[in-house]
Chain A
Amino acid sequence: MYSLRRFATRHSRAFEAFYNFAEPVILPIMSGLSKLSGGRLDAPMTWVEKQAKGALFDCQMCGNCVLSSTGMTCPMNCPKTIRNGPCGGVRENGNCEVKPEMRCVWVEAWDGASRMRGGDKIHTVQFASDRSKRGTSAWLNILKQRELEAAGRVKSAPPRTQ
């Protein structure tokens, strides 16, 4: 999986384009299925998301996906789960201080972002992930959030400084 993950970062631009194209298609389908099934299809859809994103990005299912802001590199693979990396311990060869055999996730992220059209999003301060969402579908969470926002019932959001 590790080699696929690095492939995704190297081709971050293509993945970004695909994602930008697919999101407006996938999300309404998921939304429709979720509503039609009264939520009963949420679990299988989460499973599909896990398989797809797991295979490509080593997705850890944090439930608060930021891939498009992190050069299509999943930050939850950083041993310190840093959402605004890298840390100050990156090795001279660009590998991780904690796992010397692995490329630093955030060296990859900045590299991936430099190739993306919307790569500037990496400059946005991200708040720590909401751990209560672990294991849930980030896509369904986006939908729920949008619905709440549309209904004007947004719970006090965590700080996003910029």
Chain B
Amino acid sequence: MNAPDHHPFVEDPGSPLPPLEGHVSLGRFERVLRAGQFAVTSEIAPPDSADAEEVYRRAALFDGAIDAINATDGSGANCHMSSVAVCALLSHIGYSPILQISCRDKNRIAIQGDVLGAAAMGVCNVLALTGDDVSAGDHPEAKPVFDLDSISLLSTIKTMRDESKFLSGRKLDMPPKIFAGSSINPFVPPVENRVDQLKKKIDAGAEFIQSQYCFDLTILKDMMARAVDAGLTERAFILPGVGTLASARTARWLRTNVPGVYIPDEIILRLEGAENQKREGQKICVELMQQVKEIDGVHGVHIMAYKQEEFVREMVAESGVLDDREAWAPEDTGAIA
């Protein structure tokens, strides 16, 4: 698609890519996946700052190593720069961000407005989340919204994109071309129904799925096998989540205090027995990435390296999951060696 002459971003890396047959968005993330490549994503913690440069600094840490950057939306119910703003800034210079939308803070009116606004600013991917409760974060006095849940949000995006209308039925002049995704946690009860939940998300419109931290591959493999049997991995791209643990103490803290984080004892014992726990945590993450890549039906991996973002490049290189491929990066910043 050629941008009109007066468009300020002609020839800019931030311009949308030309449309491709069978693609719902004009973004790079969907292309990598549909091309059958093993995709790598990670996430940026939006800053507690009004500084755009800080967003770019944080994104640059991943240059060359990842295909899309998730911008979390008030994760853990803590307040930070909005994910819409982070994604708009990143899209502007050509990155391929994934806009996380949590249903906790906005109702359907605000969310549909954000989807349109984000798409207008070049955002091509949305991750629909229900979100943590306000009681988990630093503003427990806030009013929780939860007008929609993640699945209703997926249906909403699908309605806007495919039927070119709001939930009210009012027509959109231009629909948002959004590649939609959601999350899944295979490790918490009811474990046997998690694949049913996955199916519901895909039925509602999820085209990609990023999972919660996977430290127990037996459970993940079991769920993936059932997903493959049910034909779900043909209908959506699945990117299991892996993470780095800074120490055994952090791991213990996470599993007791953060809802939905499941870390088996063996991992904690392995960290405890290591001389350099932080390094060991990264080694575990690298091994998990390699093992996840081998699982049938998996299309990529999502790395959660909170406060260890500067090691993501190294870990991706060490794991070799990108094979000989180098992920896109803006030209003026050094890509992965």
Contacts and interface: CB of A to CB of B under 8 A. Distances in A.
Interface string B145-156: 011111110011
Interface string B118-151: 0000000000001111011000000010111111
A98 B133 contact: yes
B260 A90 contact: yes
A35 B38 CA distance: 62
A123 B196 contact: yes
Contacts of A60: none
B167 A158 contact: yes
Main secondary structure of the interface of A (DSSP, over half): loop
B196 to A, nearest CB: 6
A80 B75 CA distance: 15
Interface stretch (B199-207, B218-226, B292-300): B199-207
Contact of A91 (B104, B199, B259): B259
Interface residues of A, number: 36
Given A123-B196, A156-B169, A88 B184 contact: yes
Contacts of B130: 80, 82, 87
A84 interface: yes
A81 B158 CA distance: 21
Of all A-B residue pairs in the complex, the 7 with the closest CB atoms, nearest first, are A89-B259, A88-B185, A97-B259, A156-B169, A84-B151, A128-B152, A159-B155
Interface of B: 103-104, 108, 130-133, 135-136, 144, 146-152, 155-156, 158-159, 167-169, 183-185, 188-190, 193, 196-197, 199-200, 203-205, 212, 259-260, 262
13 contacts: A80-B130, A81-B149, A82-B130, A86-B190, A86-B197, A90-B259, A92-B188, A93-B189, A97-B259, A98-B135, A107-B190, A123-B196, A128-B108
